[in-house]
Amino acid sequence: MLLLSRDHDFQVFLSPSEALPHCTNPPAFHWPILSAESRYTFELLKRDTGECLCREQVRSPVLCDTLLALGEYQWRVTDDMGDSSEWLPFTISGDEPDYLPPVPAQLFAACEARDQWMLYLDEDIAEVREHAQEDLARMKATAQVALNNSLPAYPDHYRDGRESYKRLAIHQIREWVDRDLMSLCLLYRIEDDQAAGEAAVERLLKLAEWSTDGPATLVRPCQWGDEVGLSLARNVFLAYHWLRPLLAEGERAFVRSLLIRVAEQMVLRLQQDDFAQYPGHSHTSRLPAYLGVAALVLHKEHDRAKCTQWMQQALDLYQGVLPFYGSADGGWAEGAFYSSSYTKWFHPFFLAVERLSGFSFYQHPFYKNYLKYCRDFVVADNDLHPFGDGFWCRPEGKEWPGFFAQNPLRIYAQRFGSVADIEHCRLLEDRIEIYSLHLLDVIPTLDQVRLTHERIEQQTRTEHQDPGDSRHAFYPHAGHGLERFGRVELRYRCSPFGNSSHRHADQGNISLIDNGHSLLCPTGSYGYAFGSQHHREWTRTSRAHNVPLIAGEGQLLDDPVATAQLLSRDQRENAMVVRLDMSAAYAGGIRVIRTLVLLRDAGLVIHDELSAEQPFAVEWNLHSAVACAQQQTTFTLSAGQRDYRLRLNSHPGLTPTLQHGYVQSGGGESNEEHDIIDSDARQDVSHMTWRLAARTRHHVIASCFSQDVSQGGDQSENQAPRIRLGDQTLSIHWADESLMVRRSDVSLVS
């Protein structure tokens, strides 16, 4: 039997499968391969008719060029040694969207009689301009900032003594290119602003002088980083296309040489990373859309066969592999901060294909459902946005301007949202004074204008039910959960993705929030940048999060086996019980089961069951972003107008330690590096630690109750919450409520 298992956290999952069902017709068939040289025989069988599709000498993914008929199917692959995988069944029900993109020739043909074909056709301009007046006013304000800014200068952090200025180079390139160049280009294209166009040409010609080696390269090993090259790849193709009427023939040839070099580097980078098999390379995952734009822009002026290859590669990757971190329910495994930008990079490509062919990548269920995840995790008005890198950032923050998108709802709300979503989107837009980073989805295409009108009319005719004050959602592929009663929210991570890339060693991590204030939360930041000492030694590690350390060790990092499993979610009117298995995230065969009990108008109970054959000590950590004071074995957490009492109920006589802020060990970042950045991360965090002596089995029970409940309110002291661990159950009594949670499997008893 051929076993198809992942050997890297960036590698594709097996799909369609029970763990990761298909969500489009036709499905994309992908599986983990043993090596880049491995080839397989692929078989697809329609079970009722016996029809079989067989392809030999293929590798993942396999894409079909026709829709599949309704019915039951199964598929498998066989390697060169003759070993076959098990048959994997799936059903085409008719509910899946048709997902067959156009071929490159169709897209190129749609451009044939046109001089301008990217996003905004000539006949679209008047209607687009009329619809975008408010957006254009902000674009003009942004362009004025651009005109007051300096011209692009080649980054110098390759020079001796300037290495620490890599972070500054990223900030500057996003200002010069993503903001300055593109705001001027958009005003020229939409408003026919000649002065803006001439200023954009000056900047584009300056960029064309740059070497695409060194700090501007996209090719690994990317010694000086790749963000400079990514900004070029994202923008210069559209800039060239829109500014083409203002460029002399010699200037066109000069800029075109830059574009060709950048496009060829994108192709090489995708090859270097074997991206179709390892799409978890976050930075590389931006490139397919940029390569598709490059093919559309250059197909009349460059080798048509090469442009066809570029376009086919982009189309195939979006049909067959992407979004890798996004799932059909709209969840994003890399968390709120990264989702807000990684759901924008592809907009120009998607919008261009849609305008030229009528086919929309947005019909994929992830893009249709991302709005739900966005509501739950991205645009929530909280002080922090767990989980993963950037949880400490905010859209108005200064650390990475625009990367936590100023308006994550743009495009999604107008296409798939309610009236409230569309109003929220406009509110976010109205808060923007100057655009940062993401400008290419600001001015709507004609399709976007029409879809917005249709959606508003549709939603106006629809009766919307009041969702009440509760919200309960779990995104299983992303591994992010949200349970809310009123103003109190519990968020947790329990993911099939391991602890790598922008994810931390924090399977089972939690965040408890009261009215936007993080009572319990992850801690840390990038420090100077991704990979800094603080990021490596604190933020990425389990010690920075609300998970236990076992025998002094946290969860595994950079290992695909470091996953967690949701065992159950049980909901009642006034309680939510979630049970997680975190065992795989720890080395040593230790069983770690976490039960979370969120109680309406009361707070949270955490029960950790840890066991192993050999005795082991436990360091049990919690962290808070609100004022924290210790009273011997109890902590008071002050969140706005309400305090909470936090205690370890299972070990009432154990005195914990409390530390505030961060202690920088030797060899950290220099003061000069800290002067370069303006971090959004808060320093006034608290770290609470309980140390449990070694034994083979630990039961850790903690409670975090609001002060009114923890003190019994106006009732007698014996009415305060009581928690008891029995042989089979955990029982909780508070106010006039009681709850019983079985230790073997979760159930609720009133």
Of 98, 663, 749, nearest to 363 by C-alpha is 98
Q: What is the mean pLDDT of residues 516-524?
A: 97
The architecture (CATH level 2) of 1-99 comes to: Sandwich (2.60)
What is the predicted pLDDT for the residue at 365? 98
Domain edges within the chain: 1-99, 107-460, 472-708
The SS3 call for residue 649 is: coil
Residue pLDDT, tens place only, 90-135:
999 999 999 999 999 999 999 999 999 999 999 999 999 999 999 9
Report CA-CA distances (Å) from 577 to 271, 480, 574, 597, 699: 46, 15, 10, 5, 17
Task: Specify the pLDDT at position 517.
Answer: 96
Q: Maximum Cα–Cα distance for the chain, whole Å? A: 87
pLDDT on residue 729? 81
Q: What is the pLDDT of residue 199?
A: 99
Q: What is the pLDDT of residue 468?
A: 74
Cα angle vertex 119, ends 117, 124, to 5°?
Answer: 80
Predicted local distance difference test score (pLDDT) of residue 747: 42
In what helix (H) or strand (E) does residue 519 lie, and over which residues does it extend?
strand 517-520
Q: Give pLDDT tens digits for 452-495.
A: 999 988 887 776 666 678 899 999 999 999 999 999 999 999 99
| Residue 369 confidence (pLDDT) | 98
Between CA 472 and CA 485 the distance in angstroms is 9
Is the preceding peptide bond at 97 cis, omega within 30 degrees of 0?
no
Residue whose C-alpha is closest to residue 387's, from 437, 444, 338: 338
pLDDT in tens, 202-217: 999 999 999 999 999 9
Q: Which residue has the higher pLDDT, 528 or 636?
A: 636
The answer, yes or no, to whether residue 683 has pLDDT greater than 50, is yes
Where does the pLDDT of residue 663 fall: very low under 50, low under 70, confident under 90, or very high at 90 and above?
confident
Closest listed residue to residue 22, CA positions, set 95, 77, 103: 95
pLDDT above 80: residue 735: no
Contact yes or no for 5/32 (Cβ under 8 A): yes
Average pLDDT over all residues of the chain: 93
- Structure confidence at residue 664 as a pLDDT band (50, 70, 90): low
Query: Strands 722-725 and 488-493: what pairing?
Result: unpaired
Is 472-708 assigned to CATH 3.30.70.520?
no
Q: What is the pLDDT of residues 2-20, one digit of tens each?
A: 999 999 999 999 999 999 9
**Is it true that 1-99 and 472-708 share their CATH fold?**
no
Residue 713: the pLDDT is: 45
Over residues 375-413, the pLDDT tens digits come to 999 999 999 999 999 999 999 988 999 999 999 999 999
* Mean pLDDT of the 351-374 span: 98
d(CA 61, CA 275): 11
Q: Write down the pLDDT at residue 676.
A: 62
Let me know if 733 is exposed, middle or buried by CB neighbors in 10 A (0-12, 13-18, 19+). middle
Q: Of 163-172, 198-207, 562-571, which range is least confident?
A: 163-172
Phi, psi of 339 (to 5 degrees): -65, -35
The fourth-level CATH superfamily of domain 107-460 is: Chondroitin AC/alginate lyase (1.50.10.100)
CB 640 within 8 A of CB 517: yes
d(CA 692, CA 68): 57
The values of phi and psi at residue 197, to 5°, are: -60, -45
Which of 9, 21, 24 is CA-nearest to residue 63? 24
Question: How does residue 739 score in pLDDT terms, banded at 50, 70 and 90?
Answer: confident
Q: Quick check: 348 and 185 in contact, CB under 8 A?
A: no
